[in-house]
Amino acid sequence: MADNTFHIAMYPWFALGHLTSFLHLSNKLAERGHKISFLLPPKTKSNFEPFNLYPNLITLIPIDIPHVDGLPPGSETTADVPFPLHPLIMTAMDLTQPTIEFHLRNLKPHFVFFDFTHWLPALSRKLNIKSVHYYTISPATVGYLLRPEIKIADNKIRTEVDLMNPPPSFPRSSIKLRAHEARHLAAGAKREFGSGISFSQRQWICFSECDAVSFKTCTEMEGPYCNYIEKQFCKKVILAGPVVPEPPSLVLDQEIERILDNFEEGSVIFCAFGTECLLNKDQFQELLLGLESTGLPFFAALKPPIGVEKIESALPEGFQERVKGRGFVYGDWVQQQLILQHPSVGCFVTHCGSGSLSEAMVTKCQLVLLPNVGDQIINARLMGGDLKVGVEVEKGEEDGLFSKNGVCKAVKAVMNNDSEVKEEVKQNHTKWREFLLSQGLEDSYIDGFVQKLHEMLL
């Protein structure tokens, strides 16, 4: 390699959204001649090969996953198991430490990028490799939930009351939590996540011991939150910019394309909740009934609800007959990025995963925000409150449940032509879409990102 290029090892958390986000960044860096060694589970390797745009520079290296009691055979990523078993995926990743050390010793990269493997900074330091904590979620989420100024590392446990409001020095924003959200997140922070360590402790160690922290965002969108993280952790924060996914080279599935082609431009509601989000049956039905109530055509890509094997078994009574010809529900994986770009799609009902929002922000689809867990909640407040590019579905303050009427109301707010809300969110979305797609923006951020990595090696 030339003197001005370097070699990076990538070892993301075994969740598809995280793996995808790391690969997007890898493509941006490989475009500039940098070498990437991407460590990932064996079965996942074949799924990601089509998205490796620079196979001459990005090497996908399969890592054998140790068996962990309680994990179904063949489980590799969080998409393979229900949410309660996610900590066991982390346990399996912790057990890969000797394998990762072997690879790092042989590869001798300049950097290792990671997110949840808290032992990597110490291992990297021993091998004289710089560690970068590349966070796929927003700095607003990290600052609000991890609360560095309150020193969680000193065994101060976050309570539901603590999380209802932002920490004292947090930037002014629209971000606050409701009772049910704070209760859920406080419990999650204490939950063991991997080998005898809580999730919040794991994150604290990652932030405290890495050489630098990096986020996939822009100063223009989340600058105050980035500054907050940098000040509170006394750690260099490097921004990679928006890392807008490359336009897919594949074409849309013909069956789905035929469905969407039947409808007018901007008239279809697309609803998708990612590869891991599972609703209970009641909420699943409320969501579909809400889409039906809009009177608009819709295409919903949802996993079967908890305890149900096939999507057809969970549909509301008489639903298929009532929506025939205008409502379609798929229980399989779909090409989300291509669907969002189809001319007939005018509204995206999303669970607010960071990857989904990244794809949606560069389209013309109006956003309806329906977060489920964790960082999705902060993402929804950021999008609906700070940036005002979407409308969040109302939920019960205590139970966190949404209704069909709430879903219908949010969709109509962004789709009805006489809605003042529609005009506001459309104008804001247009402004940010044009900004994110503006010529030279991404190149400027990635070039600056590379320059700061070079400075770390001096």
Annotated catalytic residue, options 80, 94, 115, 162: 115
- Taking the C-alpha atoms of residue 237 and residue 142, their distance in angstroms, rounded to an integer, is 13
> With contact defined as beta carbons under 8 Å apart, do 344 and 323 qualify?
no
- Whole-angstrom Cα distance, residue 115 to residue 118? 8
Catalytic residue list contains 18: yes
DSSP state letter for 22: H
Where does 370-440 have alpha helices with state H?
375-381, 404-415, 420-436
Separation of alpha carbons 252 and 280, rounded Å:
30
Report how far residue 51's alpha carbon sits from residue 34's, in angstroms, rounded to the nearest whole number: 17
Q: Is the dihedral of CA 366, 372, 375, 377 positive or negative?
A: positive
Longest dimension (CA), the chain: 67
Ranges assigned E (strand) in 124-273: 130-135, 212-215, 237-239, 268-272
Virtual torsion, Cα 373, 193, 307, 259, nearest 10 deg? 50
115 is catalytic: yes
Cα(411)–Cα(392) distance, rounded to whole angstroms? 9
DSSP code, position 32? T
Distance CA 324, CA 330 (A): 14
Distance between CA 64 and CA 345 in Å, rounded? 41
User: Nearest to residue 91, comparing CAs of 21, 152, 18, 14?
Assistant: 14
CB 399 within 8 A of CB 180: yes
Cα(207)–Cα(205) distance, integer angstroms: 5
**Distance of alpha carbon 333 from alpha carbon 338, whole angstroms:** 12
Active-site hit among 18, 118, 342, 429: 18
Task: Supply the angle between the helices 420-436 and 404-415 in degrees, to the nearest 10.
Answer: 70
User: Count H helices, E strands: the chain?
Assistant: 19, 13
- Structure token digits, residue 363: 């389209």
Asked if 1 and 29 touch (Cβ cutoff 8 Å), the reply is: no
Active site residues: 18, 115
